[in-house]
Amino acid sequence: MPSVASSISLLCLKLGRHQSYLHSVGATKKHIQNHFLKADHAPSQKLHRYYRIERGHCRGRDVYTMQSKNSPEMFTHIVHILYIHGGAYINEMTLRQWEFLGTIVEAAAHQGIQIIFTIPIYSIISPQVQAVNGGHGHAHAVMGFLKAVYRSIVDKVGRSGEVQIMGDEAGGGLAYALAVSLDNHSGLATPRRVLLLSPWLDISLQNPAIKRLEHTDPTNRLEGLREAGRQFALGTDPEDPLLSPLFARCDKSLLTRTYVWTSDADVCQADCVALVYLASKKGIDMTRPTKTKSQRYFCMSGLYPSWMFATWTPEARKTVSEVVQVIKEGVLNQRSPILDDDRRKSSVTPLHNRTWSSGSVNARARGRSMQVQSVWGTPEVPKGATVQEPLPWKAAIPQY
């Protein structure tokens, strides 16, 4: 049951007509035409007093960094986190999101961990974006920008550095899509942790369970969300892993480093459950903790989707402590897969002595042990080889 503070926070959002532009297609289109005139992604002056915030540029877009003002000698570990903000692809980063990041920085500082957030301000849907080729290809431009920012972080900290990815709502979908695209052949170090807060994993919202969740979600409406997703996906297949990473074929090691926070009153929770199910098919139970790791799936009861941004509520403080704990585990876990010179070798047989399994969505080679140049048990596919998928990816998603 939500706390009194959380109930008051939700009441304030309702009185302020929070996300009223999602109630209809027309309201969403009107918001796109007018919101960019008053949108402001810059942090407040109050935040500048408490945190070291700097602004840079990448590909002509603003990129902020946010960290504690304490002396570096006070920290035992440094973690770089790429944070991708949400907002249904039509809103800039808000003050509530800035304050949420500040709360995480403070909580981690108390445990001797310095978190350096890198916040790329990607281009939201606006009349200027729609004027360029009718808005077609905008999603690919955004992902290219995010990859460029991630590459700059890796180049800055080196391959032995600690880099993680975090995103909320629509930014959570982009964060997961970015993590999927950073495979072993991308030339970039894979993130130690991928933290998703109420992620939007399917841009078309086609899961049948979403319709039932809409009645419990106090802020999101399917008509407006689908219109925003359609505008963002112009020129791209809605089921492209770039837009709907739920349908992407990802390695098992990525799922072991992915952590999801959601609520049972969130329309996106249905796709989060589908992701948990897909992980279970690969032998990963995201709902249970292990000796060295926290559980990977956190579901709050009865809370609105953006509860974590109300940092003065007990539910938000609990989520912040869970996020900091996961970040800390990523720092202390020395076996996290990362592409460096001393990377761990996998144990599989030579390619010419192996057969491909046909029962899994991601067909894998079977055989005895032998060291090859691969990471965490994933065999390299020989040139010219094609692997036929026995079923479409959507067939693996549970039907509600």
Indicate whether 280 belongs to any domain: yes
Give the pLDDT confidence score for residue 159 in this predicted structure. Answer: 64
CB 325 within 8 A of CB 317: no
Tell me the per-residue pLDDT of 188-200, one tens digit each, with 9 for 90 and over: 888 889 999 999 9
CB 135 within 8 A of CB 129: yes
- The residue-averaged pLDDT of 172-194 equals 85
Band of residue 324 on the pLDDT scale cut at 50, 70, 90: very high
How far apart are alpha carbons 300 and 399 in whole angstroms? 23
Count the domains in the chain: 2
How far apart are alpha carbons 200 and 244 in whole angstroms? 8
Half-sphere exposure of 347 (CA within 13 A, CB side): 2
How far apart are alpha carbons 21 and 27 in whole angstroms? 5
Residue 287 and residue 178 share a domain = yes
Question: Who has greater pLDDT, 341 or 46?
Answer: 46
Residue 187 and residue 59 share a domain = yes
Give the pLDDT confidence score for residue 26 in this predicted structure. Answer: 86
- The residue-averaged pLDDT of 268-278 equals 89
Residue 322 and residue 237 share a domain = yes
How far apart are alpha carbons 234 and 253 in whole angstroms? 32
Residue 59 has pLDDT above 80, yes or no: yes
Q: Supply the angle between the helices 95-109 and 314-332 in degrees, to the nearest 10.
A: 50
pLDDT-above-90 percentage for the chain = 26
Residue 50 has pLDDT above 60, yes or no: yes
Indicate whether 338 belongs to any domain: no
Final residue before a domain boundary, out of 305, 332, 359: 332
Q: Residue 19 has which token pair?
A: 């996300």
The three-class DSSP label of residue 124 is coil
Residue 326 and residue 353 share a domain = no
Indicate whether 337 belongs to any domain: no
How far apart are alpha carbons 324 and 115 in whole angstroms? 10
Band of residue 176 on the pLDDT scale cut at 50, 70, 90: very high
Indicate whether 93 belongs to any domain: yes
Tell me the per-residue pLDDT of 206-225, one tens digit each, with 9 for 90 and over: 888 888 887 777 777 888 88
Residue 198 and residue 322 share a domain = yes
Residue 359 and residue 306 share a domain = no
Instruction: Tell me the residue range of the domain where 369 lies.
Output: 345-396
Residue 375 and residue 268 share a domain = no
Residue 360 and residue 326 share a domain = no
- The residue-averaged pLDDT of 93-112 equals 93
Strands 355-356 and 345-347 come out as unpaired
Angle at 256 between CA 255 and CA 258, to 5 degrees: 60
- The residue-averaged pLDDT of 12-27 equals 72
Give the pLDDT confidence score for residue 149 in this predicted structure. Answer: 94
Residue 79 has pLDDT above 90, yes or no: yes
Residue 133 and residue 43 share a domain = yes
Of the chain, the end-to-end C-alpha distance in Å amounts to: 25
Half-sphere exposure of 212 (CA within 13 A, CB side): 8
Question: Who has greater pLDDT, 2 or 273?
Answer: 273
Indicate whether 9 belongs to any domain: yes
Residue 242 and residue 379 share a domain = no
Question: Who has greater pLDDT, 14 or 27?
Answer: 27
Q: Domain holding 117: CATH number? A: 3.40.50.1820
User: Is the pTM here over 0.85, yes or no?
Assistant: no
Q: Which stretch of DSSP H or E encloses residue 280?
A: helix 269-281
Indicate whether 379 belongs to any domain: yes
How far apart are alpha carbons 38 and 335 in whole angstroms? 46
